[in-house]
Amino acid sequence: MTFARASTAAILDQDAHLIQSFADLNALKAQGARTVISRAEGAYVYDNDGQKMIDGIAGLWCVNIGHGRREMIEAIANQLQTLDYYSTFYNFTHPTAAALSQKLAELAPGDLNAVYFGNSGSVANDSAIRILHHYNIRKGRPNKLKVLSRHGAYHGSTHLSMAMTTPGYSEGWTAASELVHHLRAPHHWREGGEMTEAEFLDALALDLSQSIDRIGAENICAFIAEPIQGAGGVIAAPQGYHRRMQEICRAHDIKYIADEVVTAFGRLGHFFASEAVFDTTPDIINTAKGLTSGYQPMSATIVSDEIHDVISGPDGMFLHGMTYSGHPAAAAAALTNIAIMEREAIPERVRTTGAYFERKLRGLSDIELVGEVRGSHFMIGIEFVKDRTTKESHPAEVEVGLKVARACQKRGLIARPLGNVLILSPTLIMDEAMIDEIEGILREAITEVA
């Protein structure tokens, strides 16, 4: 079956039945408020009326190898012809999920050798906590259930992953929130006051230690952190932060979970960023998005041998399961995606092209409206301010990020506004000419709004 090409007006009519994510649903009722993306190729997407735009956000930080790869489409189709679906429940498994689990164990750092598959980053984060709850109950520590997270975090939209996300995103429902304590955001530029970065790091470490003392290590199963906070506005912590936090956690027998839903699979120049970039070997790494480059929904919760040994011990069932865990088509997409990344040395290339991208975008700091350009490689946030000296923000109703994003889109670049921050996280196949083009569009768009 192929789907007939509909007019934009007809699609928008049908779309009245679709509930968008993270959207002002009322504002979307206005004609023209939505953008219909109908086609994609390489680093570009096309709207339904044929406007070609650089996909400056890789779909949603996910289409790392670029759009429309025949090899991916064929691998998924071939898999569906051989085995469309089978579960990994009970004693069942299938060749593609098995091969992918082995490949991820090979790529992941340290002794992270066992994988639980899900179908979204939210589920990967929920699964990590459920696995640790199992782990602690098996170890006779039924109260060791709470989670330390951070202000500024984004871990997903299920109740538990949302509870671990920064306060303010959720509707205030408390049952899951009671499990979570939020530490200070590691954002020196906004939160550091007069402190040097090193002093700020000391303050963050103290916050962690004091929180553990207050809650009791015997009640805390995990600390969860994105190596660089993404949806919180692309916040990179002070140098040495992750290692310091992990050392404190280790001393209290608290597991360290790296939410690498965005940072894995090349975005920072490595398959996984935790060890290669941040000098930490987490006890669990969660990943999704770039795992399949978005060609199929899939996530992976990759756990250490030690955790795996405990949950697979002799004292009963592992009571956790998702129908689509390890779905054959998704596993085929992930294996092919990884093969393409290895063959084309995409993570290695990002160390050069991503560094160029970062350098070019940091150059936008000379525009009056720009307060801070931050992040790393192909994960960049640009924060706009009303006053560069005081760092005073524009009030929300000015919608400065949205205005710049619209000015970019008009010029053929999709960027993602998040309040006063504009996020750029393009496909990882950018060359210098495309990066120059992105920088040129951003410069014009920001200057127009300034």
Q: Provide CB contacts within 8 A for 326, sequence distance 6+.
A: 87, 88, 93, 94, 96, 97, 100, 101, 117
Q: Which is nearer to ligand PLP, 163 or 446 (CB)?
A: 163
Q: Which of 91, 76, 82 lies closest to 321, judged by CA? A: 91
- Residue 123 CB, nearest approach to ligand PLP (Å): 7
- Residue 2 CB, nearest approach to ligand PLP (Å): 28
Element (H, E) at 236: strand 235-236
Q: Which is nearer to ligand PLP, 230 or 426 (CB)?
A: 230
Q: Cβ-closest residue to ligand PLP?
A: 121
Contact 304, 113 (CB under 8 A): yes
Rounded Cα–Cα distance for residues 252 and 24 (Å) = 43
In 385-438, the DSSP E strands lie at 413-414, 416-418, 421-424
The alpha carbon of 109 is separated from its chain's Cα centroid by a whole number of angstroms, namely: 19
Q: Which is nearer to ligand PLP, 107 or 261 (CB)?
A: 261
- Look at strands 299-304 and 112-118 and give their pairing: antiparallel
Q: Which is nearer to ligand PLP, 153 or 369 (CB)?
A: 153
- Residue 241 CB, nearest approach to ligand PLP (Å): 16
- Residue 265 CB, nearest approach to ligand PLP (Å): 13
Contact string 38-67 vs ligand PLP (x = CB under 6 A): ------------------------------
Q: Which of 449, 389, 387 lies closest to 417, judged by CA? A: 449
Tokens coding 345: 């040395």
Q: Which of residues 229-288 bind ligand PLP (CB under 6 A)?
A: 230-231, 259, 261-262, 288
Contact string 113-132 vs ligand PLP (x = CB under 6 A): -------xxx--x-------
Provide the 3-class DSSP secondary structure of residue 434: helix
Rounded Cα–Cα distance for residues 121 and 60 (Å) = 12
DSSP H helix total and E strand total for the chain: 15, 17
Q: Which is nearer to ligand PLP, 291 or 446 (CB)?
A: 291
Q: Which is nearer to ligand PLP, 155 or 182 (CB)?
A: 155
- Residue 260 CB, nearest approach to ligand PLP (Å): 8
Contacts 24+ apart (CB under 8 A), 90-97: 93/326, 94/326, 94/328, 94/331, 96/326, 96/328, 96/331, 96/332, 96/335, 97/326, 97/327, 97/328, 97/331
Q: For 150, phi and psi rounded to 5 degrees?
A: -135, 155
Stretch that binds ligand PLP, among 149-157, 202-210, 325-333, 344-352 (CB under 6 A): 149-157
Q: Does 149 bind ligand PLP (CB under 6 A)?
A: no
Contact string 66-85 vs ligand PLP (x = CB under 6 A): --------------------
- Residue 108 CB, nearest approach to ligand PLP (Å): 17
| Amino acid letter for position 30 | A
- Residue 266 CB, nearest approach to ligand PLP (Å): 15
- Residue 316 CB, nearest approach to ligand PLP (Å): 29
- Residue 19 CB, nearest approach to ligand PLP (Å): 15
Q: Which is nearer to ligand PLP, 155 or 360 (CB)?
A: 155
Q: Does 226 bind ligand PLP (CB under 6 A)?
A: yes
Count how many residues are written for the chain.
Answer: 450
- Residue 134 CB, nearest approach to ligand PLP (Å): 21
Q: Which is nearer to ligand PLP, 156 or 266 (CB)?
A: 156
Q: Which is nearer to ligand PLP, 58 or 370 (CB)?
A: 58
Q: Which is nearer to ligand PLP, 300 or 310 (CB)?
A: 300
Rounded Cα–Cα distance for residues 260 and 229 (Å) = 10
Q: Which is nearer to ligand PLP, 48 or 287 (CB)?
A: 287
Count of residues that interact with ligand PLP, criterion CB under 6 A: 14
Contact 446, 367 (CB under 8 A): yes
Provide the 3-class DSSP secondary structure of residue 22: coil
Rounded Cα–Cα distance for residues 194 and 191 (Å) = 9
Provide the 3-class DSSP secondary structure of residue 91: coil
Q: Which of 151, 155, 182, 244 binds ligand PLP (CB under 6 A)?
A: 155
- Residue 381 CB, nearest approach to ligand PLP (Å): 13
Q: Which of 59, 109, 156, 328 binds ligand PLP (CB under 6 A)?
A: 156
Binding-site ranges for ligand PLP (CB under 6 A): 120-122, 125, 154-156, 226, 230-231, 259, 261-262, 288
